[in-house]
Chain A
Amino acid sequence: MYDTEKLGTDVNQTNTKISARNVQVYYGDTHAIKDVNVDIDAKSVTAFIGPSGCGKSTFLRCINRMNDTIDVCRVKGDITIDGEDIYDKRVDPVQLRAKVGMVFQKPNPFPKSIYDNIAYGPRIHGLAKNKADLDEIVEKSLRRGAIWNEVKDRLHAPGTGLSGGQQQRLCIARAVATEPEVLLMDEPCSALDPIATAQVEELIDELRDQFSVVIVTHSMQQAARVSQKTAFFHLGNLVEYGDTSQIFTTPKDERTESYITGRIG
């Protein structure tokens, strides 16, 4: 869908945003992520693919420390963003999550108005000095979420009244409203129909100009369409990581090849 020549140049120009070294994740006694090393580029889209239960979502949730909310989950190893260890004792996960936004599998707008959905993040982080500021942030975020034209006349209608695809774009708009640097997306299109999926994918491609996007997906076509780099996870291991074009055309590992050709997974 997106030309590969552009991809090649992009990858060369960008530098590393997120870097993971020897990351291990345990759920109780289960070793969910084994020794993952990965460098994720800034201002590009990186896709995590792999069969269900391979640990790609778990790893994604390590990047904004959402796994902290699960009691039995333990994370070892180093994950750095811009060279700063995010598991350092001095890091407050709340501050981290303002910098690393997240979009979830199921659209989960707050049961409040569309306006309040977007304004919530900026409000709690004190990003707006006054009402006009906040209005501006809301409009800008909704525009970035490619949903402004659809909702501008009903900003005070409940966000839960939108269609599934609109809700997901609202959630993306909500995530970008706090001006994060990284945007994590956990299967953002799995609950959407093909048309809504196409809209969200288009949006992801636009977001790459401003954010480093990491997307977990079950759909290999989606990974091929939207991402510049792809990581293939299998049974908690990062099997292969490289340019999307390379992964899908000339995978180096046998398992990657089996998966993308449909023999495992």
Chain B
Amino acid sequence: MTDASQPTVPNSSLHILDARTKRRNAAESRFKLYGMIAIGIGLLMLVTLLTTILSKGTGAFTQTFVTMEVELLESKLDKTGERDLEKIKKVTTFGYAPLIKTAFEQTVETHGIDTDLKSKTMAKILSKSAASQLRDYVISNPDQIGQTIEFRFLANSRVDGYMKGRVTRDSIANDKNITAAQLDFVDQLIEVGALKKTFNIDFIIGADASDQRPEAAGIGVAMMGSLFMMLVVLALALPIGVAASIYLEEFAPKNWITDIIEVNISNLAAVPSIVFGILGLAVFINYMHLPQSAPLVGGLVLTLMTLPTIIISTRAALKAVPPSIRDAALGVGASKMQAVFHHVLPLAAPGILTGTIIGLAQALGETAPLLLIGMIGFIASNMPGTVGEGLLSPNSAMPAQIYEWAKRADPAFYERAWGGIIILLIFLISMNTLAVLLRRRFERRW
């Protein structure tokens, strides 16, 4: 307007930025800078997180083992010589301790190790599980009694910590569990190759162990607990969630009742998970008397927690299908249900799948509700044998197992907590990747 009335204003050249444009450009550059800083901070956090987890957790995947030959003396294990399993079973782990002592004496002798330690002290570098490992072997192979067999025993957590740099000669001053002389002996064993740090599959497939034997603890059984819970969640939350969403989105009349339901589903998604935990405790365990600590109950609780997520994402996916597709189907005389199932649902499927997988991943990482229904602590020491057992026998879950390890005193458990986090993250990342891939694969344009 001013330009029109004053056509010869000297500073209206396009080559000179006016103050207003300069301010706008400056504001835009500032905003870009803020954005880059924000992303930079985010990336830094992520890198820190990943390096911390990896540096602290990778140790859990290797373990120190002592390899030596043990003579399974008939005189100690089967005095009668009848190979009667019932009688062999009567020999407790105490009965096996002398065998291990003898084995150490022989190892020292054959390798020519120069040491003053008594065999009893030597044997203490092994895990407390060594005797039971021997006993388990003999009970399942009674015909081997009398033979000399090579065994690989777990070293105890102090020796393992020494190998991993967690335990040093300085730090053991006040440690009753290990002495400098024992560490000297460990060094000698390393030299002759009898003691080695190797990959430990038992951490991934094994069961949790008591406070005394951190070196024997594994996350495998808790993984099964998580798996069974996820099966329950998938089997319940997916059909219920999808059916509820389809009904609400496509069939339900829009009135105040559905409005209230809608608002409440959104609210449920924001309810803290521990609330679902106490609900599960009150309803499933106290009222319905389902077994405590069972993955079935955990799965039911997580189903309640996951349902809102699945319903919300499914409804969003259904909403995203253009109404013209519904019109087209109805226009050729399809019934409402045919229109939904033949046309709308296939188009919404990638969104539904993604939502479900994200919901499952959330449920997989959930700890709080499990605390309340007792899926925490040293619960299961054996892999469940059948599906029914897997659902009903007490078990823990991966995040609960990690929490359990993190709160135990021994630093060896702390390392396992980090290792468990790596495994949990691998699961979560693969599930999210699967969600992205499914979305890419099935996404269709219309």
- Residues of chain A whose beta carbon lies under 8 Å from any beta carbon of chain B: 64, 66, 69, 71, 94-95, 97-98, 101-104, 106, 108-111, 120-121, 124-125, 160, 171, 174-175, 177-178
Chain B residues with CB below 8 A from A124, complex form: 332-334, 338, 342
The 28 sampled A-B contact pairs (Cβ below 8 Å) are A66-B327, A69-B326, A71-B254, A94-B333, A94-B334, A97-B331, A97-B332, A98-B333, A102-B327, A102-B331, A104-B328, A104-B331, A108-B327, A108-B328, A110-B325, A110-B329, A111-B446, A120-B329, A120-B334, A120-B342, A121-B332, A121-B334, A124-B333, A124-B342, A160-B446, A171-B328, A174-B332, A177-B332
Which residue of A69, A111, A160, A175 contacts B332 across the interface (Cβ within 8 Å)?
A: A175
Chain B residues with CB below 8 A from A95, complex form: 333
Question: Does B42 lie at the interface of the complex (its beta carbon under 8 Å from any beta carbon of A)?
Answer: no
The bracket for how many chain B residues form the interface is 20 to 34
Question: Separation in Å of the A13 CB from the closest CB of chain B?
Answer: 29
Chain A residues with CB below 8 A from B331, complex form: 64, 66, 97, 101-104, 175
Chain B residues with CB below 8 A from A98, complex form: 332-333
C-alpha gap A66/B446 in the complex (Å): 22
Question: Separation in Å of the A62 CB from the closest CB of chain B?
Answer: 14
C-alpha gap A111/B443 in the complex (Å): 11
Chain B residues with CB below 8 A from A97, complex form: 330-333
C-alpha gap A155/B365 in the complex (Å): 48
Q: Is the CB of B332 within 8 A of A104?
A: no
- Residues of chain B whose beta carbon lies under 8 Å from any beta carbon of chain A: 253-254, 322, 324-336, 338, 342-343, 347, 444-446
Chain B residues with CB below 8 A from A94, complex form: 333-335
Which residue of A64, A108, A120, A160 contacts B445 across the interface (Cβ within 8 Å)?
A: A160
Chain A residues with CB below 8 A from B336, complex form: 69
C-alpha gap A79/B327 in the complex (Å): 21
C-alpha gap A98/B335 in the complex (Å): 10
Chain B residues with CB below 8 A from A178, complex form: 332-333
Contacts A71-B254, A160-B446: A110 and B333 contacting too (C-beta < 8 A)? no
Q: Is the CB of B445 within 8 A of A71?
A: no
Assuming A71-B254, A120-B334, what are 4 further A-B pairs, CB within 8 angstroms?
A: A66-B327, A69-B326, A97-B333, A103-B331
Which residue of B322, B330, B342, B343 contacts A66 across the interface (Cβ within 8 Å)?
A: B330
Interface centre among B327, B331, B334 (most CB of A within 10 A): B331
Question: Separation in Å of the A192 CB from the closest CB of chain B?
Answer: 15
Contacts A95-B333, A104-B331: A111 and B324 contacting too (C-beta < 8 A)? no
Interface centre among B253, B322, B334, B342 (most CB of A within 10 A): B334
C-alpha gap A90/B322 in the complex (Å): 31
Q: Select from chain B the residue with minimum beta-carbon distance to A66.
A: B330
Chain B residues with CB below 8 A from A110, complex form: 325, 328-329, 343
